[in-house]
Structure 1
Amino acid sequence: MPKKTITAQSARKSAALFDIGNIVVILLPVLIPFWFGASIFIYAFMRHNPNPKVGEYTQWAAYRFYGMIGALIPIGTFFPLDFRYYLVTWAVIAAIMIPWSIWSLHRIKHDDWQDTVYESED
């Protein structure tokens, strides 16, 4: 089986992708349904990256996103038809999610990344 290499820079960018998506989506909430679908693909793809750190960072970013957005469903069920309740909920989610994702990006940037060599079936 031929060996392939994932560079440290590529692994670091892959690990940051989910957190960057989380920040963009929270800043532009109209994109949440699209990110919800795209994030499933990104999660499945990145979680199985040969570099285990990519999967770990992606998994934690997914926990944050799905937890925050998932909490909106049972909480939002009891909201009256006043749009302000959704705005307050969005502000609370943004106040939690954005700093947490920035902190995660900081950790990714300062982590010790190494090239990953793996065997490919190609």
Structure 2
Amino acid sequence: MKVKKLITAEQSRFSAQLFSIASVTATLIPPLLMIWIAASIFVYASIAHHPNPRTAEYNRFSGYRFYGAAGSMMVFGQPIYVLFGNWHGLVAIWAILAIVVVPWGVWSIYKAGHEQWQDMTIEVDTNE
């Protein structure tokens, strides 16, 4: 049996902003960063197949930014850490991640917040 389900404009907008909001928050609060790296996989996957293509697009580009920056730090983090040494190297790695994720993430949140979102109705198959 198929049931119609309403996805409001606010739900689509929030879903489009969610990955960026969490990435910016986790980047600005370093203890949350490791937790967010694990949890982000589930958030990304849950939004990746959103029925609204704009929501999925915002999610995709937020993932590119965060995972690209975090992955780059896996490759270049060790040389940067050795170059600066001690905790200065950790701060340098965190600063590079923050420079990439925070400004573009805030811009993405702002842009999604000012976009015109529409309510949409989808049909959901309920197997009883």
TM-score by length of 1: 0.93
Q: Which residue of structure 1 lines up, in the alignment, with residue 24 of structure 2?
A: 23
Distance in 1 (CA, whole Å) between partners of 2:13 and 2:46 is: 15
Query: Unpaired runs of 5+ in structure 1?
Result: none
Tell me by how many angstroms 1:120 deviates: 0.1
* CA deviation map 1:85-117 (0-9, x unaligned): 120121122122211111101110111100111
5+ long unaligned stretches in structure 2: none
Q: Secondary structure at the match of 2:25?
A: helix
Verify: 1:87 aligned to 2:88, yes or no: no
SS in 2 for 1:120: strand
Q: Which position in structure 2 is the counterpart of 1:37?
A: 38
Matched letter for residue 26 of structure 1: T
Asked which structure has the greater CA Rg, the reply is: 2
List structure 1 segments (4+ residues) > 3 angstroms apart after TM superposition.
none
**Structure 1 position 18, deviation (Å):** 0.4
Superposition CA RMSD, Å: 1.2
Q: Scaled by the length of structure 2, what TM-score is found?
A: 0.89
SS at match of 1:118: strand
The residue matched to 2:51 in structure 1 has which SS? Answer: coil
- Say how many residue pairs are matched: 122
Shift in Å, 1:33: 1.5
Question: d(CA) in 2 for partners of 1:87 and 1:38?
Answer: 23
